[in-house]
Every structure is written in structure tokens, then in C-alpha cells.
Amino acid sequence: MPRPKRQLLATAEETSNPPAALEHEQAIACVKKGEGKNLYTVELPSGTSLLVELPSRFRSTIWIKRGGFVLINLSAFDDRENKLDGEILNVVRDEKLWRKQAYWPGEFAKKSAYPPDSDEEGSVVGKMPPVDDSDTEA
């Protein structure tokens, strides 16, 4: 039997609001790869790759895509000896709202999808063709 709709909506609402501040053992990370079995490889702002687990309350409810951002707890598996480095606490869904927070890392700054315009003369898109004097005399 599927989960009740109110439980799905509560989980979705919980993930839409960013926390006021991050605790010491929490960090924002970028999802690089899905490893399977609810395990994801994420990258911290420092460039360190970690293997984190998606808790059961998010499974089949919230989908995570590559390049998306998650809030992770780095001390979740300190007491166990395994390959997991942390647990996903929250999935960043409204990225605009999260980027406005003071704790958002500068390394994850929004990048433009278009390359910077360094060569103005190379593109003729939207420009009028040059006027040729020989056409106007005839």
C-alpha cells in the first residue's frame, strides 16, 4: 500500500524551507553520482568526495538529480565502522531561497550557461548587413 498523501506532502514541505543556521557537523554538498541502493557520491565545497545515504523518509518521495544540492550530516555514522561518510538531512529543492542564506558556500556560486562574450566581432547575429556603395549607384 502506498504512503498516505499527507505524509508525502509533509515531507515535500519540510524540504522546501532552509534552516536558519547550520550546525557544526552539517554541510551543503553537490550530488555527483548515484551509486545505487540509496547511496550517493557528493562533493563538499572543499572538493572532498563523500559517500552518503538517503534516509528512508525521502525514498520514493523526493528525487535527487546529479548536480543538485543536499544538506548532509557528517557525524551520522561516526559510531559505526563502514564506508558511509554521512547522511542526507535535507534535499535542496528551492535553490534560489537556499542561495540567499548566509551559510551557502561561495564555491557553489551560480555559473552562467553561456560563455562570456569576449569576441564582439565574431558574431553577426542580430546585425544589419553592411551597406555596399555599388548597389546604391545603379
Which residues, in sequence order, are bridge partners of residue 27?
72
**pLDDT band at residue 39, thresholds of 50, 70 and 90?**
very high
**So what's the pLDDT on residue 48?**
93
Who's near 138: CB < 8 A, 6+ residues apart?
A: none
**So what's the pLDDT on residue 81?**
79
> 42-46, 71-75, 117-121: which has the minimum mean pLDDT?
117-121
Closest CA to 13 of 106, 91, 129: 91
Most confident of 1-5, 73-77, 122-126, 130-134: 73-77
Mean pLDDT for the stretch of residues 79-87: 85
What is the helix (H) or strand (E) element at residue 69, kind and residue range? Answer: strand 69-73
Residue 138 CA to residue 133 CA, distance in Å, equals: 9
Residue 28 CA to residue 108 CA, distance in Å, equals: 9
Q: Note whether 50 and 75 are within 8 A (CB).
A: no
Mean pLDDT for the stretch of residues 40-66: 90
